[in-house]
Amino acid sequence: MTGSPAQRPLEGVLVADFSRILAGPLATMTLADLGATVIKVERPGSGDDTRSWGPPFSPTGSTYFEGVNRNKQSLCLDLNDAGDLELAHELARRADVLVENFKPGGMARLGLGYETLASGNPGLVYASITGFGSAGGAGLMGYDFVVQALGGLMSITGDADGPAMKAGVALVDVLTAKDATIGILAALQARQQHGRGSHLEVNLLSSLQGALVNQGQAYLGAGVVPGRLGNDHPSIAPYQLLQCSDGPLAIACGNDGQFARLVRALGVPGLATDSRFLTNPDRVHHRLELTALLEEALSRDTARRWQDALVEAGVPAGQVSTIDQGVAYAEELGLGPTIEVRDTAGTVTGRQMRHPVSWTPAFPVRADAPPTLGEHTNVLRAWLSDRTQD
């Protein structure tokens, strides 16, 4: 899709969002950030499950819901009502993209399956998001926490002598949303070439396993089943949290040159020529000895002072920050990590993390506050009922 620099990349694309919770809504919010018109179909009375997930709650609602639903219009439809279901069919007929995360077969039972819709809307890009696919795992409920357990992520997260741990965010849902978005964008590009849409299937388990990268390949390529190492890296050293006089510091040496600069800055340059630490495989093999020597040197000063000294020396290093400190740091770097969102009256209702891609030339950033439940229902019902509209 082309246009002037001021035009949003997905301007004119209509997305019917039949998803809820996280993976689907994050994917459709990404499309909305890029200019698509996203109509979020919600159950009357309750809406998306996450509208009630909290605390915390902002002055306008659940922060969980708000984090993945900006720049959308909310349409309440009871899909068990014949009239409302007809409006859902009309929305799907007009849509360029449909995203759903019903249980496999659920949309088809409503007459909203891909084959049915594509017969009347052959250009439709239809994305189905499930927990474990539509074959053997069709009957399994897909929750991020469970997939982190079953897919192996928990087995490599946490201290070596501690219990398996989940990631601190619903990482599998986020990865799945990214995969769905990539697939949708590719399908829209393909549609420009041959005029037809596609049915995309994305599932949480496959997205997790696709993101295991080096850890997954350790098993597939070398027969090594990785385990938990806490904050240590299985293949690089030092690449871990190391204790200073007042707390931990993250240090990441990806090559021998960085290691040499590290030990010079710490005042122990002889470690770079020590036979135990000459190469990265040597350092990984002797990780415990290396850790003790590095922490002995680091104990002479604070984490912040060492961070400044190491960064100056060209060594990747950073203190462990809280989320608010991380946002402040991004602001210091001029990254503009947040945007202000506004309601229909133009009043600022809060801040959110911005879409992470920056564009040159830039296009107008959308910043519509997440919709209240059914906020656009009357207008959208009238639009969908007008069969003269496309």
Listed in sequence order, the residues at least 6 apart from 85 whose beta carbon sits closer than 8 Å to its beta carbon are 77, 79, 110, 111
Angle in degrees, CA 226, 322, 260, rounded to 5: 60
Collapsed DSSP state (helix, strand, coil) of residue 366: coil
Alpha-carbon distances of 278 from 132, 241, 259, 274, rounded to whole Å: 45, 21, 9, 6
Token pair of 15, please? Answer: 């997305």
Q: Taken in order 3, 5, 6, 7, is the CA torsion positive or negative?
A: positive
Long-range contacts for 298-304 (Cβ within 8 Å, ≥24 apart)? 298/242, 298/243, 298/244, 298/245, 298/249, 298/266, 299/243, 299/244, 299/245, 300/245, 301/244, 301/245, 302/244, 302/245, 302/246, 302/247, 303/244, 303/245, 303/246, 303/247, 303/248, 303/249
Q: How many CB atoms lie within 10 A of CB 46?
A: 11
Q: Which of 96, 173, 179, 232 is catalytic?
A: 173
The answer to whether residue 173 is catalytic is yes
Please, which residues have CB within 8 angstroms of residue 26's CB and are 6 or more apart in sequence? Answer: 68, 173, 174, 177
- Tokens representing 373 are 């439940």
SS (H, E, C) 71-139: CEEEEECCCCCHHHHHHHHHHHHHCCEEEECCCCCHHHHCCCCHHHHHHHCCCCEEEEEECCCCCCCCC
As annotated, the active-site residues are 173
